[in-house]
Amino acid sequence: MISIDLTGKVALIAGVQNEYSLGWAAGKKLLEAGATCIFSFQGERNLPALEKLTAAYKDQIAFLEVCDVSKDEDLLRLFERIKTVCGKLDYLMHAIAFTPRASQENPFVQTTRSDWQIALDISAYSLVALTQHAAPLMAEGSSIVCLSYYAAEKVVAKYNVMGVAKSALEASARYLAYDLGLRGIRVNVVSPGPMRTVAAKSIPGFSLMFEKAAKVAAMGRNASFEEVGNTCLYLFSPLSSGTTGETIYVDAGYSIMGMAMDS
């Protein structure tokens, strides 16, 4: 079995809410591999859950920090603290997405300008904004990973403007991969299938989506949190040193299917 040792590496995981966040699935794997981790989160209400999650790894936690990625002053404060406390950054995990609930309850054609701007700013531009601050602290061999979803490519009912935001996120990752490639900094996307996260609860009809995806997937099931975390760990590690600008699906083969036939 291949062992990944990231001792001495520093990672920022942005967007963890609780144990059911995909950011935590990645963050836990980084901690298990020995990395020092910083966790940023949206508001103070998330702090107790993060303190509980990270308690077992307290010697590897540099700090926990509130950061609203739509506010430039929050980003500046976060990265000034990273520079002061850690002096460098090796890995960035982007696990941030948001859109107002109405934008998924109503038909896509009813998307408001405000909902569009909020969804694209928080779910996609935040990757660019975080990378602008992270890249100067990164050296050759550093890695950036973000989370997408199949709705970036195909229509998924009720996903609506979040599908557009994920398309923008994936395109942004490719352009960032190009900009940072000669510096040896890699940027990749992990696209899980439906996962029972806090964010998923806001999608109307998610339970039916989850069940149908498992039936259609080539492996006859949905992927697990651990499988998503393992893929993120691979993309952070030197094992993926030649991979950048890619979107890797972790969906038990759902994305490869065109038509499923009953046996």
Q: Active-site positions?
A: 149, 159
Q: Residue 93 phi/psi, 5° resolution?
A: -110, 115
Answer yes or no: are the C-beta atoms of 137 and 131 closer than 8 Å: no
Of 57, 3, 54, 66, the closest CA to residue 24 belongs to 54
In three-state secondary structure terms, 109 is helix
CA distances from 53 to 46, 91, 93, 108, 162 (A): 11, 20, 17, 37, 28
Q: How many Å apart are CA 63 and CA 206, to the nearest integer?
A: 34
Residue pointed to by tokens 């992927």? 223
Answer yes or no: are the C-beta atoms of 134 and 187 closer than 8 Å: no
Q: How many Å apart are CA 91 and CA 102, to the nearest integer?
A: 34
